[in-house]
Amino acid sequence: MKKYIGCDLGGTNLRAAIVDVEQGAVISQTSIPTLAREGHEAVMRRMAELILQVIQSAGMGKEGVGGIGIGVPGVLDLDKGETLFLPNLAGTWPHVPLRDRIKDLTGIPVSLLNDVRSITNGEWRFGAGRGVDTLAVFAIGTGIGGGLVLNGMLHLGIGGTGGELGHQIIDFNGPLCGCGNHGCLEAFASGPAIASMGMKAVAQGLTTQISELCANDLNRITPKLIAQAALAGDAVAQEIYELAGYYLGIAAANICATIGPRRIIIAGGVAQAGELLLAPIRRTVTSHVHVMPVAQVEIVSAALGNNAGVIGVACWAASMLP
């Protein structure tokens, strides 16, 4: 069986991994800074070099590689193989022919997929989503990404744009979201939204361990720091996770009513808070869904960590470029 390359085009780092798509295992990998400010052509050249380098350093030839999957943080046109809007990369990459350019530079066929749909595919095949045919993933970090598996297929929608669970509207009068809309889930429960709840609590002078943990420097407040305070019994910090979990639970309830998932997977850096976040999500879903057997929906943490995306996009490439 040929190996596949899983590649991650991140705002900070480019990563390329050789993946055994039958085992769901990363065999070897390497990463370099993206240096997005140098422009998309320079980034694509560096990505192609990185891919050829990881193949060579594993002692393989191109003939042993079935294809390359690239996970991309933003909006794509999968039919044309183009990027349309990558908000975290300089220049935002409108109509960049990423698929064909990497194919030309490496001589290996390429398939693109949104980065969180890549995570969704990885978790479904080899992680927390194993064994079920319908699931949803919320990936909570700087933003909130999402992905859906419906009846045994990764859901794509128009050009692969389906599954943006972080941009479902929770409150149409709510705060402005990075996408330009008001009241998206992302504006309420992303990493920065959770951090800003902590900043607000400290700025308001509430009695909370968050103040001591950040040494009264608001810029040091992160979801991780707030989780640390919550686990130490701090009521203000616990309330912040309750609220974030409530918003996520409302979104998860919408997904339960929409697709009847067997599992909902919480991924991304903020998911490291574990039960602090999962417990209020479960409670909210249970009390707000009455039209499907909500007790059967498992709400769990992701299992593959940072490897989910490269494994998932390599498996995607294997299914598209057999």
The footprint of Zn ion (CB under 5 A) covers 167, 177, 179, 181, 184
Give backbone dihedrals phi and psi of 90, rounded to 5 degrees, phi first. Answer: -55, 135
Measured between alpha carbons, how far is 297 from 9 in angstroms, rounded to an integer?
32
CA 22-23-25 angle, to 5 degrees, is 120
The least distance separating Zn ion from the CB of residue 216, rounded to whole angstroms, comes to: 32
Measured between alpha carbons, how far is 322 from 316 in angstroms, rounded to an integer?
10
Nearer to Zn ion, 127 or 143 (CB): 143
| Cross-strand partners of 71 | 8, 113
* Alpha helices (H) in the chain, listed in sequence order: 40-57, 98-106, 115-126, 185-189, 191-203, 209-213, 223-231, 235-259, 275-288, 308-320
Nearer to Zn ion, 184 or 250 (CB): 184
The least distance separating Zn ion from the CB of residue 170, rounded to whole angstroms, comes to: 10
| Cα of 72 vs its chain's centroid, Å | 10
Nearer to Zn ion, 167 or 263 (CB): 167
Measured between alpha carbons, how far is 322 from 308 in angstroms, rounded to an integer?
20
Output DSSP code: residue 87.
Answer: T
The least distance separating Zn ion from the CB of residue 176, rounded to whole angstroms, comes to: 9
* DSSP string for residues in 4-65: EEEEEE-SSEEEEEEEETTTTEEEEEEEEE--GGG-HHHHHHHHHHHHHHHHHHTT--GGGE
The residue written with tokens 């995306």 in the block is 309
Cα–Cα distance list, 204 to 201, 211, 240 (Å): 5, 11, 14
The least distance separating Zn ion from the CB of residue 104, rounded to whole angstroms, comes to: 34
Nearer to Zn ion, 66 or 143 (CB): 143
Nearer to Zn ion, 129 or 147 (CB): 147
The least distance separating Zn ion from the CB of residue 174, rounded to whole angstroms, comes to: 10
The least distance separating Zn ion from the CB of residue 177, rounded to whole angstroms, comes to: 3
Nearer to Zn ion, 92 or 181 (CB): 181
The least distance separating Zn ion from the CB of residue 178, rounded to whole angstroms, comes to: 6
List of residues 6+ apart from 233 with CB closer than 8 A = none
Nearer to Zn ion, 14 or 185 (CB): 185
